[in-house]
A and B are shown apart, each in its own frame.
Chain A
């Protein structure tokens, strides 16, 4: 098992390198950079005096070097103006727009981003698991039809629209401000039980909103997998030998059906992280989503680059966890490498 974990983590390193290169390439796509745009703007106004400072900044952040060199400096594999000083050394870069290190700009938003995403994944597991089993064991019952219908609606409604609709109705029916992290009266208040509860209440709606489509997809998958298994011979044999219905279900078909279920969560994670970004923008949650949007709009390249990379790493870790879970559950997978060779 240890061997498997080690191998799986090592396999992430080249992936990370490719992803970081891709991210850097994408954020460098717009013509010019933040500083050259500033310089052009200053020149247009005729204010040449502060250009010197900007030129200095350009040198300082080595924006005048060729692409590959800039990338290596950013990652920290190549000595920049201050020696090796990049992501690997813990320097996340500089945000031009906020005139602060990236760390300070998005530091406060990172925990919430992680919490929100993991809460969503947990939500998907917890909700879709029992419903999937129910739908499969009571196929064609009213409950099954109901959940299938809800599932289709959940799949078809894009999460940011769902957020918008929920915001509207909550505001109308309960006069509740669903957006933001807490009710307005708690902002700038010291932490108290009520404030914590308010934060929790405000996290529930986004979790549901982001998780809906994933839950719907997982219910469909688990239902289909379990239905396939339920019609197999060994289930009939077990029943004929007098196993109780619940015992039978948990002991055999469920175990078989749960594998693709967990593997699929891994595939769903990217779309959930995507969802959390846009839902955060719509519901003005202080996660990396809104920061990313403003950084992209103002071409604050190190900030947006770091967020993109962070989000990608988050999905990779999520997939790693789902892979490890799968290996725990299924010995064929963790031994696969050695058995087949």
Chain B
């Protein structure tokens, strides 16, 4: 047709028509970037969005480093958690040096000499500048049972032979604080994960019922949530953990604690699940599933749940820190874990007496990892929450 138009005599201003064949896809062609975005899965987009939140990403990296202590505590710590050194009670932290008298030696600590101060009747430890103790790496040190199964003695780093290496000092019984922190991470960091799992299960169950069925079940669960949320958590945690039988083994106490922590945390999650379900239930695909005869369990699990999994993960991440702090507070008050279990709260227990802390400030060392982990979880949770709704 274009040929015909062109050949008619041009009396008026010629009506121009492009001779090249028309391609309808051209108008909607996307840049490669846009195409990538539209073809990517939901999780991939979330990951891209999450990556832009620099602090959250770094928090994630820090948390992974901390969580390495969970499986490999035995290898990372130079001592075992309950190993006592009766010659070094309340020994101060030993500083790591690199240069001895201007010469590079590599990482080493000075040996300590100890004497009794006759006025205060306390051990006084001093660096001995002639006693250079080089830190050994990938070495054989104290024996341990890896995961309670294999006996080994390989450590990431250990003190010089016959020397000591107390990076964060020792406590009342000469137990190394740094090793305690590494071992304590095992319980302190997992308490939150297990507790959150329990809280997610409860939250999904009650929130799911309330949101999906509505009606009287909904209002009953709503009342229950309101009441639970209006109660101060810590006194209840204290009362519940005081009810744990003293005769239980440490493992049972640990699980009892996680259940207690999870038991009071689910209302927030249930509320989020409920409101999400209420809105998603009205979506067409959900109605279609119901009309096709799917059972409630299938509709919730298969069609509605994927719509807000990301939200659940984000809000769960944000509630982990409060559980870690809960465990710490309870153990600090002697209501939670006890020796021989080691957690950061148990370690802080030594710092309960303020007059002891003023003389031996390094007993407060567990405060630092606790703050770092809690901050990191908060930032990570913020980042996840922002990324949870990728299409916004």
Q: Is A121 an interface residue (CB 8 A)?
A: no
Q: Which of B373-389 contact A (CB under 8 A)?
A: 374-375, 378
Taking CB atoms and an 8 Å cut-off, the chain B residues in 206-264 that contact chain A are: 226-227, 229-236, 238-240, 242-243, 245
Most buried by A among B233, B234, B321, B364: B234
Known: A152-B378, A160-B329. A277 touches B367 (CB 8 A): no
Task: Tell me the nearest residue of chain A to B367, going by C-beta.
Answer: A161
B354-A271 in contact (CB<8A): no
Given contacts A18-B227, A152-B378, A168-B357, contact A30 B235 (CB under 8 A): no
Beyond A161-B367, A278-B329, 9 additional contacts (C-beta under 8 Å) are: A155-B378, A164-B364, A270-B231, A270-B233, A275-B234, A281-B333, A296-B335, A299-B242, A312-B231
In the bound complex, CA of A296 to CA of B334 (Å): 11
Could you jot down 16 A-B contacts, CB within 8 Å?
A155-B378, A156-B375, A156-B378, A157-B371, A158-B328, A160-B332, A161-B328, A161-B348, A165-B367, A167-B354, A274-B232, A278-B234, A278-B329, A292-B238, A312-B231, A315-B230
Is residue B152 contacting chain A, with contact meaning CB distance below 8 A?
no
CA distance A155 to B371 in the complex (A): 10
- Nearest B residue to A30, CB-CB: B243
Residues of A within 8 A of B371 (CB): 153, 156-157, 161
Kindly state the separation between the CA atoms of A111 and B333 in the bound complex, as whole angstroms.
24
User: Which residues of chain A have C-beta atoms less than 8 A from B358's C-beta?
Assistant: 168, 171-172
- Is B46 an interface residue when CB atoms closer than 8 A count as contact? no
Question: CB of B337 within 8 A of chain A?
Answer: no
Segment 253-281 of A: residues with Cβ below 8 Å from B = 267, 270-271, 273-275, 277-278, 281
A171 partner, pick from B232, B334, B354, beta carbons under 8 A: B354
**A311 touching B242 by the CB < 8 A rule?**
no
Residue of chain A at shortest CB distance from B335: A296
Q: A204 to chain B: which residues have CB within 8 Å?
A: none
Chain A residue numbers with a CB within 8 Å of B335 are 293, 296-297
In angstroms, how far is the closest chain A Cβ from the Cβ of B221? 13
B142 CB contacts on chain A under 8 angstroms = none
State whether A158 and B232 are in contact (beta carbons under 8 Å apart), knowing that A26-B243, A29-B240, A308-B239 are contacts in the complex: no
Q: Is A183 among interface residues, defined by CB-CB distance under 8 A? A: no
Residues of B that sit less than 8 Å from A by CB = 226-227, 229-236, 238-240, 242-243, 245, 321, 325, 328-329, 332-335, 348, 351, 354, 357-358, 361, 364, 367, 370-371, 374-375, 378
In whole angstroms, how far apart are the Cα atoms of A292 and B364 in the complex? 25
Query: How many whole Å from B245's CB to the nearest CB in chain A?
Result: 7
A10 to B354, alpha carbons, bound, how many Å?
46
- A192 located at the interface, meaning its Cβ lies under 8 Å from any Cβ of chain B in the complex: no
The answer to whether B374 and A26 touch across the interface, beta carbons within 8 angstroms, is no
Complex: how many Å from CA A281 to CA B243? 19
Instruction: Indicate if A319 sits at the interface (CB-CB under 8 A).
Output: yes
The CA of A156 and the CA of B242, in the complex, are separated in Å by 26
Closest-CB distance, B68 to chain A (whole angstroms):
21
Q: Judging by beta carbons under 8 Å apart, are A179 and B233 in contact?
A: no
Chain B residues within 8 Å of A84, by CB: none
Residue pair A168, B364 in contact (C-beta under 8 Å): yes
Chain A nearest CB: distance from B141 CB in Å?
32
Contact indicator B354/A152 (Cβ below 8 Å): no
Task: Decide: B230 and A319 in contact? CB cutoff 8 A.
Answer: yes
| Contact residues, A280-331 vs B (CB, 8 A) | 281, 292-293, 296-297, 299, 304, 307-308, 311-312, 315-316, 319
Minimum CB–CB distance from A131 to chain B (whole Å) comes to 19
Is A27 close to B, CB under 8 A? yes
- Residues facing B in A132-160 (CB within 8 A) are 152-153, 155-158, 160
| A274–B229 CA distance with the chains assembled, in angstroms | 12
Evaluate whether A158 and B239 lie within 8 angstroms (CB atoms) in the complex, with A168-B364, A171-B354, A271-B233 already known: no
Judge whether B236 and A308 touch: CB under 8 Å: yes
Contact call A158/B242, Cβ cutoff below 8 A: no
User: Across the interface, which residues of A come within 8 angstroms of B361, CB to CB?
Assistant: 168
Most chain A CB atoms below 10 A, which of B235, B240, B367: B235
Q: B325 — which chain A residues lie within 8 A by C-beta?
A: 158
A31 interface contact, C-beta 8 A: yes
Complex Cα distance A267/B364, Å?
Answer: 31
Q: How far is the CB of A224 from chain B (nearest CB, A)?
A: 12
Contact A293 B333 (CB under 8 A): yes
Closest to B354 in A: A167
B234 A274 Cβ-Cβ under 8 A:
yes
Quick check: B239 and A26 within 8 Å, CB to CB?
yes
Query: A22–B230 Cα gap in the complex (Å)?
Result: 13
Given contacts A156-B375, A171-B358, A296-B242, contact A308 B370 (CB under 8 A): no
Closest-by-CB residue of B relative to A168 is B357
Rounded to whole Å, the gap between the CB of B309 and the closest CB of chain A is: 25
Indicate if A333 sits at the interface (CB-CB under 8 A).
no
Contacts of B242 in A (CB 8 A): 30, 296-297, 299, 304
Docked CA distance A278–B232 (Å): 11
* A161 & B370 in contact (Cβ 8 Å cutoff): yes
- B327 to nearest A CB, angstroms? 11
Q: What's the minimum C-beta distance from A43 to chain B, rounded to whole angstroms?
A: 18
C-alpha gap A296/B335 in the complex (Å)? 9
Tell me the minimal C-beta distance from B354 to chain A in angstroms.
Answer: 5
Is A19 at the interface (CB under 8 A from chain B)? yes
Looking at the assembled complex, report how far the CB atom of B240 sits from the nearest CB atom of chain A, in whole angstroms.
6
Asked if A158 contacts B231 (CB within 8 A), the reply is no
Q: Pick the contact of A158 from B235, B329, B354 — CB < 8 Å?
A: B329
Q: Chain B nearest CB: distance from A185 CB in Å?
A: 17
Residue of A nearest to B355 (CB): A171
Q: A19-B231, A315-B232 are in contact. Are A164 and B243 (CB under 8 A)?
A: no
Output the nearest chain A residue to B376 by Cβ-Cβ distance: A156
Tell which of A22, A26, A307, A316 has the most Cβ of chain B within 10 Å: A26
In the complex, which residues of chain A have a beta carbon less than 8 angstroms from the beta carbon of B230? 15, 270, 312, 315-316, 319
**Could you tell me the distance between the alpha carbons of A155 and B235 in the complex, rounded to whole angstroms?**
20
Minimum CB–CB distance from B379 to chain A (whole Å) comes to 8
**Is there contact, CB below 8 Å, between A278 and B333?**
yes
Contact of A270 among B232, B348, B375 (CB under 8 A): B232
Closest Cβ of chain A: how far from B32's Cβ, in Å?
A: 34
Supposing A30-B242, A158-B329 touch, asked if A311 and B357 sit within 8 A by C-beta, the answer is: no
Residue of B nearest to A167 (CB): B354
Chain A residues 170-191 with CB under 8 Å of chain B are 171-172, 179
Chain A 25-36: CB-based contact to B (< 8 A → 1; otherwise 0): 011011100000
Q: Which residues of B contact A29 (CB under 8 A)?
A: 239-240, 243
